[in-house]
């Protein structure tokens, strides 16, 4: 068993090195773009990154529409999603990038970021409840423009946490591991796909731990990358939430719930890109039949790229 896993990890490392060197040869002149692609590639081997590609579509939770699937594959391969014309303006006046990151991780017009966040949060809450944890949700709402975010409580409160203090408050962030605004250096740490996630984790901890400790509890940040990579501390929290503590082989329930989280993350990202693209294209191409505006652009362009 140990030999097999040692050999597998050697094989995996060999493939990663081979792909990274191919990547370096393919865009040698644009160092920043190369570093961004390496971070993106490194983020694809996270704990929630690939279940959506492995699981049989047994029910709606584990099934994609063709358009959702095409968008997710394009994002994974770093090729343009082409659900709108790249470079055209979002409602917020910023440019829509060709991989949909503006919609999926930086712009909350139409509540996209809240929708993605809440979809994942609901599944984490279901996982906690199904394992007997007394979990209460605080969903973020988009409507409350006047809502004072500094007064916001953490997303999840659990009153019977099995480790250390029984009161545990958890706050979730979905973070893009790749930044278009960062200047990447030669330092290997700069291409660590967890770098921005850890930064977010620290922000959450600074924001909430004093409040939670004053109520006699403990705070845990839960930071998930948009490609499904997670930090070590997020993994420890998910291991408690997603595993049945009372049985001898908790791996099955853990795998099931991690798969469900992976699907909800990827599905909600694709859904937001589709619905925002539809709204955008309707504004841009209003004489066109709105139902056609999006469908054709996806089909034609993906074939051209594929």
Q: Which residues of 37-75 are buried (b: 16+ CB within 10 A; e: fewer)?
A: bbbbbbbbebbbbbbbeebeeeeeebebeebbbbbbbbb
Task: Tell me how far, at minimum, the Cβ of 217 lies from Zn ion, in Å.
Answer: 36
DSSP secondary structure string for all residues of 50-77: SHHHHS---SGGG---HHHHHHHHHHHH
| Burial (CB count within 10 angstroms: exposed 0-12, middle 13-18, buried 19+), residue 137 | middle
Nearest CB to Zn ion, comparing residues 92 and 288: 92
For residue 170, what is the DSSP state?
Answer: E
Task: Tell me how far, at minimum, the Cβ of 94 lies from Zn ion, in Å.
Answer: 5
Task: Tell me how far, at minimum, the Cβ of 117 lies from Zn ion, in Å.
Answer: 16
Task: Tell me how far, at minimum, the Cβ of 167 lies from Zn ion, in Å.
Answer: 38
Spatial CA neighbour of 106 closest among 36, 205, 21, 177? 177
Task: Tell me how far, at minimum, the Cβ of 264 lies from Zn ion, in Å.
Answer: 23
Contacts of 1 (CB under 8 A, 6+ apart): none
- Binders of Zn ion among residues 5 to 34 (CB under 5 A) are none
Binding mask 81-120 for Zn ion (x = CB under 5 A): ---------x-x-x------------x-x-----------
Binding mask 144-183 for Zn ion (x = CB under 5 A): ----------------------------------------
Helix, strand and coil percent figures for the chain, each rounded to 5: 55, 10, 35
- Binders of Zn ion among residues 276 to 295 (CB under 5 A) are none
Nearest CB to Zn ion, comparing residues 9 and 88: 88
Query: Is there a contact between 185 and 43 (Cβ–Cβ < 8 Å)?
Result: no
Question: Strand, helix or coil at 168?
Answer: strand
Nearest CB to Zn ion, comparing residues 109 and 278: 109
Task: Tell me how far, at minimum, the Cβ of 105 lies from Zn ion, in Å.
Answer: 11
CA–CA separation, 19 vs 24, rounded Å? 9
Nearest CB to Zn ion, comparing residues 12 and 94: 94
Task: Tell me how far, at minimum, the Cβ of 107 lies from Zn ion, in Å.
Answer: 3
Nearest CB to Zn ion, comparing residues 155 and 272: 272
Tell me, by CB under 5 A, how many residues bind Zn ion. Answer: 5
Nearest CB to Zn ion, comparing residues 92 and 232: 92
DSSP secondary structure string for all residues of 209-234: HHHHHHTT-EEEEEEEETTS-B-HHH
Contact residues toward Zn ion (CB under 5 A) are 90, 92, 94, 107, 109
């Amino acid at each position: 068993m140990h030999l097999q896993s040692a050999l597998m990890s050697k094989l995996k490392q060999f493939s990663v090195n081979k792909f990274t060197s191919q990547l370096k040869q393919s865009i040698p002149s644009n160092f920043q773009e190369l570093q961004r692609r390496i971070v993106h590639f490194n983020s694809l081997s996270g704990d929630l990154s690939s279940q959506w590609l492995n699981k049989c579509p047994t029910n709606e939770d584990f099934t994609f529409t063709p358009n959702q699937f095409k968008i997710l594959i394009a994002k994974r391969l770093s090729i343009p999603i082409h659900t709108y014309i790249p470079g055209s303006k979002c409602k917020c006046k910023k440019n829509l990038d060709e991989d949909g990151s503006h919609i999926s991780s930086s712009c909350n017009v139409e509540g996209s970021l809240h929708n993605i966040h809440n979809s994942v949060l609901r599944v984490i809450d279901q996982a906690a409840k199904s394992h007997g944890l007394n979990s209460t949700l605080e969903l973020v709402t988009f409507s409350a423009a006047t809502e004072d975010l500094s007064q916001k409580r953490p997303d999840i409160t659990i009153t019977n946490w099995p480790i250390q203090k029984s009161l545990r408050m958890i706050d979730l962030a979905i973070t893009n591991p790749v930044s278009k605004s960062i200047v990447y250096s030669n330092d290997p740490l700069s291409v660590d796909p967890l770098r921005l996630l850890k930064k977010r984790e620290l922000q959450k901890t600074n924001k909430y731990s004093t409040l939670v400790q004053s109520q006699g509890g403990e705070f845990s940040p839960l930071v998930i990358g948009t490609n499904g990579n997670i930090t070590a501390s997020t993994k420890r929290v998910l291991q408690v939430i997603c595993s049945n503590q009372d049985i001898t082989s908790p791996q099955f329930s853990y795998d099931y719930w991690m798969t469900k989280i992976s699907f909800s993350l990827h599905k909600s990202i694709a859904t937001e890109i589709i619905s925002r693209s539809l709204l955008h294209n309707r504004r841009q191409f209003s004489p066109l039949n709105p139902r056609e505006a999006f469908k054709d652009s996806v089909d034609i362009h993906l074939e051209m790229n594929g």
